[in-house]
Chain A
Amino acid sequence: MTQSADILLSVDGLTTRFFTDEGVSYAVEDVSFAIPRSRTLALVGESGCGKTVTALSILRLIPDPPGRIVAGSVRLGATDLLRLPEDEMRRVRGNRISMVFQEPMTSLNPVFTIGDQILEAVVLHKKVGREEATRQTVAMLHKVGIPDPESRIREYPHQMSGGMRQRVMIAMALVCGPELVIADEPTTALDVTIQAQILDLLRSLQADIGMSILLITHDLGVVAEIAHHVCVMYAGRIVEEADVQELFDNPLHPYTVGLFRSRPSLEHRGPLAAIPGTVPSPLAIPPGCPFHPRCPLSDGAKCAADRPPLETHAAGHTAACWYAGRVAEMRTRGEPLYK
């Protein structure tokens, strides 16, 4: 495990709920994790698992009402973000923490040139003149691999391809030298060859600049490419956490195993094992283990009544399952968990 001195972001017991007309939506419940400097932590899960709400909670961008962070703490270095006055929080966003979104077309303003959009952040946060800001913008665009940045800064988002727009988004996120970049499905909207280019870019920029990355994704392939550490989320909670290699070699939660087995791959072209049922609504999370209605190992008694805590099974490897030990035994015996 990493020394606490290296930790850049630590999230502890974060709980965010939405108080809607249809009832309370338990979007994020008791989520804790820590990201060391210059490392990438992936939050993995399917739609509605709470991964994006976790990211928005860190930035305090939860619309209130109906949403509210009801418990927990978020510390960036020595700063407790949840206690910061709003004007100071505004200086954190885009400066110490920045964000890369999934859809580059809708996240860029269509009526401003890309140069103006990046400059705005530099002028605002770095308190430098326009000329210096332009110089920094051009240098950043060059760094993210945009050819001929001196003339590209005068282009509008619609004049660029999806891959180029995502490079612009990354340049915008990095231009103020943030300590943490939150990348929410950064390659989901891109073609596979462009995705590979963007992942390579993020990896080399991290080696170069040293920012930490909180990667939000549903794609275990993207996780394998750039994450160091992984938290698997299901129904608002972290159900398993481990270093990336350990998670891929030795997944202990039946949900994680199911995610791996549902992925078609070129290497193993055998039948897929689908997890039955669907992800529960955050308005109606099942009692006990939230995964028990879909789980092949559920005993229908303890699993349906008591929620399993996150327990440590190996160094740095935790899982929230009453039968995590059996998952490991079955793998040793070569027994499939899903038929």
Chain B
Amino acid sequence: MIAPERIAKPDDVLLEVRDLRTHFPVRRGLLGRTVGYVKAVDGISFALRRGRTLGLVGESGCGKTTAGRTILRLIPATSGTVAFEGRSVFGIAPGELRQMRRHMQIIFQDPYGSLNPRMTVGGIIGEPLRVHGVARGRELEDRVASLLEHVGLAPAYRNRYPHEFSGGQRQRIGIARALALDPKFIVCDEPVSALDVSIQAQILTLLERLQEELGLTYLFIAHDLAVVSHISDDVAVMYLGRIVEQAPADRLYANPLHPYTKCLMSAIPRANPRQAKSRIMPRGEVPSALNPPPGCPFHPRCPWAMERCPVEVPLLLPAADEPDHLVSCHLYH
């Protein structure tokens, strides 16, 4: 069942990313000459509607984390645009950016490294409120208490330090901090992959509940296709800096089109030992982003590679009969 507010109007776009590129120079030698670029993000585009979740999935080094951080302007973009509520994130002045940041937050993967061990939980969650001058004194205390309750922690925990908490509880603290300024958009960067299985389910359920209650919009970055498809409305699969396939989550699962998506899906361990599974395995390993293959970046590993593939870069286009199922592969266009 879908809550009425979650059926967004098509024009209700909160975040629009267009042809975003993030290239990191590789310097060598005494003078630090630039000898090449790692094209971590190499031309991705998508639109994210209010109250929805877009899952960004791919293996290590595919550029998904860099994409999330570039969108928040935590890493400078090489080119492309990001519009948040119609305003350019890259073009605005620092003062305005600060205001915009209130509405765009991030939850990190590592609940151990992302909380300052010398601050109390109350200090950590209250910091954004103080920095932005939103609340102080009694009001701040109340707000911290209600944030803690919101994420399922006792308000009395505010005087404790991060090391006193388990991984799952720390992740709740990280979520409370992200929620402090009442954001509209949250980048969730592998928020459950460092957690135990039983705790993963708790955190995923919490994120879903918060989205419903607060009308949040998520960019959910993860390597685990099962986790991503569980929480996302739409899923984009990344490979070597590009989106190779994007579709509504159930459609992507029912009918994966891109050979890389098929490989990813068939590599997921089966749910039951009885289940027969024929694997489609990509050949070899992911090539370096410093020196990506010409044409389709997946062609050296693709079981269906054709003559065109090493020559022509495929475009991300709708599949036949499925206007909202985009795929970048010569097999379909």
Contacts and interface: CB of A to CB of B under 8 A. Distances in A.
A210 interface: no
B199 A272 contact: no
Interface stretch (B22-30, B97-105, B181-189, B201-209): B201-209
Interface string B261-279: 0011111111111110001
B201 A279 contact: no
A224 B201 contact: no
A103 interface: no
B229 interface: yes
Nearest to A338: B201
A326 B243 CA distance: 48
Contacts of B158: none
Interface stretch (B71-79, B218-226, B318-326): B218-226
A227 B281 CA distance: 21
A161 B230 CA distance: 30
Interface in B63-95: none
Secondary structure class of chain B's binding surface, majority of residues: helix
Interface in A217-275: 218-222, 224-225, 227, 244-245, 248-249, 258-259, 261-267, 269, 271-275
Interface string A188-199: 000111111101
A266 B225 contact: yes
B272 A224 contact: yes
Contacts of A200: 279
A248 B198 contact: no
Contact of B198 (A164, A192, A259): A259
Interface residues of B, number: 44
Given A197-B281, A266-B229, A221 B204 contact: no
A271 B272 contact: no
B60 interface: yes
B285 A267 contact: no
10 contacts: A47-B167, A162-B60, A193-B281, A195-B269, A221-B270, A224-B269, A266-B268, A269-B229, A269-B249, A279-B166
Contacts of B169: 278
Contacts of B272: 224, 248-249
A245 B265 contact: no
A311 interface: no
Contacts of B263: 193
B264 A193 contact: yes
A31 to B, nearest CB: 20
B162 interface: no
B120 interface: no
A330 to B, nearest CB: 19
A317 to B, nearest CB: 15
Nearest to A245: B273
A163 interface: yes
B273 A224 contact: yes
A221 B197 contact: no
Nearest to A193: B267
A272 B265 contact: no
Interface in A95-138: none
Interface of A: 46-47, 161-164, 191-197, 199-200, 218-222, 224-225, 227, 244-245, 248-249, 258-259, 261-267, 269, 271-276, 278-279
Top 5 closest A-B pairs, CB basis? A221-B269, A262-B201, A264-B230, A274-B201, A196-B267
B197 A46 contact: yes
Contacts of B267: 192-193, 195-196
Interface string B153-184: 00000000000001111000000000000000
Contacts of B253: 266, 269
B54 to A, nearest CB: 16
A192 B59 contact: yes
Contact of B224 (A47, A192, A244): A192
Contacts of B279: 196, 200
B142 interface: no
A192 B225 contact: yes
Given A47-B196, A163-B285, A196-B281, A191 B223 contact: yes
A194 B285 contact: yes
A273 to B, nearest CB: 7
Contacts of A244: 273
Given A225-B269, A266-B268, A193 B282 contact: yes
Given A193-B281, A196-B266, A272-B201, 4 more contacts: A161-B286, A224-B269, A269-B230, A275-B201
B200 interface: yes
A263 B226 contact: yes
Nearest to B250: A269
A291 to B, nearest CB: 11
Nearest to A45: B196
A195 B202 CA distance: 25
B227 interface: yes
User: Which of B166, B198, B226, B249 has its CB near the most chain A CB atoms (within 10 A)?
Assistant: B198
A269 B231 CA distance: 9
A274 B205 contact: yes
Contacts of B223: 191-192
Contacts of A219: 197, 269
Contacts of B225: 192, 266
